[in-house]
Structures are given as structure tokens and as C-alpha cells.
Amino acid sequence: MISSAAMLERPSCTILCVDDNAAALEVRAGVLAHHGFDVVALQEERDALAYLADHAVHCVVLDYLMPEIRGDKLATMIRERYPALPIVLISGAVDDPEDIGGADLFVSKSAGHRRLLEALDELSPRWASNARSAEELTDTDERVA
């Protein structure tokens, strides 16, 4: 269980949330923001890869069932590019997927927002050391140019 004190002590962290369902995405982003996270909410799967190429985040939360790229496949694509980036896969349609791809954890939407917050707290020790810094983004830009 997450204590109020733990939430107050949480450093500023950016979570990238990807879900094709606009209403679900808005609610999840609101809950995470209420609990102290900076949230970037995207509805398009491919936008996530483009966003990650140019912005540092501490963790990614992906919906499992999306129209273009299923969440487990997108998690694998992200993991290939950013091996240390924590990824949580969520679903309201699947309670126990056979494969979570490159994700670290799976959370059923039916378990509620508290379980997602607990999963994020489980991964939090990795945030500080794994978020790409502005310097790394600049280095990447210079290598590509």
C-alpha cells in the first residue's frame, strides 16, 4: 500500500502514458498528476516512439490493446531502444496476458488506479538512474546530424 508520506516524498517524475481510448487516458493522466507525476498523454502508438526520441521520461505506461501496435509489441520496441526505461503494461480487456513483451510489469485496469500507483512505486528506484537527461538527448542529436 502507498502511504501519503511516500507520495509527498516522490521526486518530480515524468510518466509517458499511451492509450488509444481518450477517456481512459484522460482519467489515468489526471490520477497520476493528482499523485504528483508530470504526465505526457498520447493516443497514437507511433507517437510514443517519436516522443521518446526527443524527450526524457522516467517511466512509460502502455495500454495492451491498441489498434496499430499492441502494447506488448510497443513495449518490446521501446525496450530495444531504451533498455533501462521502466515500462508498465495495462489492460482492461486482458487480465493475464501470456506475454508482456518488453514491459517490466502488468497491471489489470480492473485492479484500479491504486495498483498502478503501487506498480510505479515498485519501479521508482530505477527512475533517477534511467531517465535520459537533456545532455544525452543533445548527444544523440549531434550523432544523428
Q: Which three cell numbers stand for residue 141?
A: 542529436
pLDDT number for residue 69: 93
- Average pLDDT of every residue of the chain: 83
Greater model confidence, 67 or 142: 67
Contact between 94 and 64 under an 8 Å Cβ cutoff? The reply is yes
Q: pLDDT band at 25, cuts 50/70/90?
A: very high
pLDDT for 134 equals: 38
What band does 137 get if pLDDT is binned at 50, 70 and 90?
very low
Label residue 126 by pLDDT band (50, 70, 90).
confident
Q: Residue 94: helix, strand or coil by DSSP?
A: coil
The one-character DSSP state at 81 is H
Could you tell me the domains of the chain?
A: 4-144 (3.40.50.2300)
Q: So what's the pLDDT on residue 135?
A: 41
Residue 34 has pLDDT above 50, yes or no: yes
**Sequence-ordered alpha helix ranges (H) in the chain:** 4-9, 22-34, 45-54, 71-81, 113-123, 127-130, 134-144
Q: Which of 40-49, 59-68, 95-104 has the lowest mean pLDDT?
A: 95-104
CA dist 1 → 10, 70, 128 (Å): 15, 30, 22
